[in-house]
Amino acid sequence: MLDGRNAVHSIPVTELKVTLPDRLAREAREAGLLSPKAIQRLLREAMRRRAAAREFLGVADRVADAGVPSLSEEEIQAEVDAVRKARRRRRGAQARR
């Protein structure tokens, strides 16, 4: 959009009206969650989580289709522990730099 003096770039926006229980609205407002920036962050994070869940389920389907045997709870815990240990080791190496 051009106002005769400066070029102003505008993006289309959608205005939302949200109906919330009074208590939730008050708590959200007090927590700073009702500002446009906060709502954008919340929505982007929710969309990121949904995309990650879809990706995870897609991988799970491909693993099942490939006939990969399931891991026991103990095997899963061992993998989680190994990843956490590797992350701690990397963080320690970066802190020493």
| Residue among 28, 24, 51 nearest 39 (CA) | 28
Instruction: Profile the chain (97 residues) by mean pLDDT over runs of 10 residues.
Output: 56 92 97 95 97 93 89 94 95 80
- Work out the widest C-alpha separation in the chain, in whole angstroms: 69
Cβ 1 vs Cβ 10: under 8 Å: yes
pTM more than 0.85: no
Cβ 63 vs Cβ 57: under 8 Å: no
pLDDT score for 45: 97
